Amino acid sequence: MPQQLIFVTNNAHKIEEVAAKIGDQFDILSLDAIGFAGDIEETGTTFHVNASIKSQTIYQQFKLNCFGDDSGLEVMALNGEPGVYSARYAGEHGNHDANIDKVLKNLEGKTDRRARFITVISLILDGKEYFFEGTVEGTIRRERFGAKGFGYDPIFQPDGYDITFAEMTMEEKNSISHRARALEKMVGFLKQQ
């Protein structure tokens, strides 16, 4: 029987993506599945701290193996902004259009448009915490392209491609994304346990 592993999220798409990668060694459960309905405040100033806050909150309360992640966009010419504030860069949490507008406005007149997406996963297994990181390098386009994906996908063009994340199929994006890379490291680690 597979071991249970809680993913500190209620995002059904994320759960499905992780379950497909992990296979049948673990049964991936959402916060809903364990009866956690509260909000976990991300008060950290780094991706590592925010990912850890998520997993530690659930582990302390339920004593179950779990993992949480934190992701964001770092733009080199903006000194790494929006970084951990990616989801609320323009003020309101999750206002993707306003966030994109702010990045594009802040990049006006700048020639360096290098950026990267980063995901950090905090896994707590039998009380011990492990971290896994994934990144994808790219550049910020001058305007939006594509209608797929979410967040900054319409302006992020990964290195080696001439299209943005928002122009890719879900399969294409998931094969090279920062989250996929961090997950692959975690899955490799879990398979050795």
Average pLDDT in the 58-67 region?
A: 96
Average pLDDT in the 41-64 region?
A: 95
User: What are the Cα distances from residue 135, in Å, to 93, 150, 158, 159?
Assistant: 23, 17, 11, 12
C-alpha to C-alpha distance for 29 and 27, rounded to whole angstroms: 6
pLDDT value of position 192: 86
pLDDT value of position 74: 98
Give the mean pLDDT of the chain. 92
**Catalytic residue chosen out of the listed positions 24, 32, 39, 70:** 70
For the question of residue 69 being annotated catalytic, the response is: no
| Two structure tokens written together for 33 | 């599945």
Residue 82, preceding peptide bond in cis (omega within 30° of 0): yes
Give 20's pLDDT tier (boundaries 50, 70, 90): confident
* The architecture CATH gives domain 3-191: Alpha-Beta Complex (3.90)
Average pLDDT in the 5-13 region?
A: 86
Q: pLDDT above 90 covers what percent of the chain?
A: 73
Domain extents in the chain: 3-191
CB 127 within 8 A of CB 166: no
- Characterise 80 by phi-psi region: left (phi > 0), alpha (psi -120 to 50), beta (else): left
Average pLDDT in the 141-163 region?
A: 95
| Two structure tokens written together for 8 | 């500190």
Give 101's pLDDT tier (boundaries 50, 70, 90): very high
CB 77 within 8 A of CB 113: yes
